[in-house]
A and B are shown apart, each in its own frame.
Chain A
Amino acid sequence: MLGNTRSFPGLRNHPFNSVLTEAGKIILGKEHEIRLATTCLLAGGHLLIEDLPGMGKTTLAHTLAKLLGLQFNRIQFTSDLLPADITGVSIFDRTNSAFHFLPGPIFTQVLLADEINRATPKTQSALLEAMEERQVTSEGQTRELPRPFFVIATQNPAHQIGTFPLPESQLDRFLMRIELGYPDRQAERALLTGGDQRPRVEQLAAVFDPAQLADLQSEIAALHASAALIDYIQALVEASRRMPAFRHGLSPRAALALLSAARAWAWLAGRDMVLPDDVQAVLPAIARHRLRASQGNTLADREDIASLIRTVAIP
């Protein structure tokens, strides 16, 4: 009844469970990160993955898209990328003597925006506006993006050369920010002996379809969150505003994000109610990119988030 937070088989009888298990076969030793990425998707938010090249960011995005039966596009961000390269351009069609809109790569269901901080702020903001509005306005015409629309952006650590760090207001549009990190010794060994898993991604069969996903998202959004749990989220947000370790606290939007992500996490754990455990599980991914350490211009420290959790009593 309470589900299980330790491993995947929380949703034994639900078809969604195979999404997690299949993805776990491709990206080895990253169950928690896969679960967080899936949570983000189920909560209807966009995901930012920050890590060094070669850690499997692209593979993760591609795998999820495949398993969910979603259309997948990828944009490699560079410093000379223009907004139109993302949203699309209108081309004059001689046969019809009219302009014809060529949709850009953004018109897809899962968009992998690789190395988003290599592009100029103008291009970045074109993508981020589309993420927020879920539509593209070009030459006076507004075009809806497909549903569901899910952006997985990857980012190199900010101190690398030739990067334009995303401003705080843009970071806030990502529901979650995760790091993949190095695989553990066992997973890396399995990777080395079992060969590259990436070609397998193309052959993956969808285990879910977009219509099911939309139903699931609305089911999760209605998951029961008791007054005591809302109290807990409020207490966390208030404490973050008072802690001297942070320059400023969490916004109301962050509180909403925390609640919806906690719902998705609880659903993935096979529960029909949200527990403080779910809030604690998603809090680092929700809060770290929204908070600034009071000293220096860096993200909030992992340890400070942990002390935020320790400070607030469970209601």
Chain B
Amino acid sequence: MADQEQPTKNEGGETGGEQSDNHLNIKVNYEGNEVFFKIKKTTPLKKLMEIFCKRQGVNQDQMRFVFDGNRLTGTETAEQLDMDDQDTIDVLVQQTGGF
């Protein structure tokens, strides 16, 4: 999955949307609401997860981030997961059960 390393451009950190090649727009779907993230392909998704949880005011321990049925730990990058633009990450709350 991670075998196609794209050359990463790091041009002095110019912000202006010029680096859109390196960025992906990712939808985060949580309880029917969508929040959009634009993130670099090479940034670990941890950052996204943290920001999402902080913004939502939820405890990250109880959140499950799922991409295509697989859990995300946060160390992955979009590139490693072969994510495409507009892909969706689903967020679920912890489930428990006993009775």
Q: Do A and B bind each other?
A: no
Residues of A within 8 A of B (CB): none
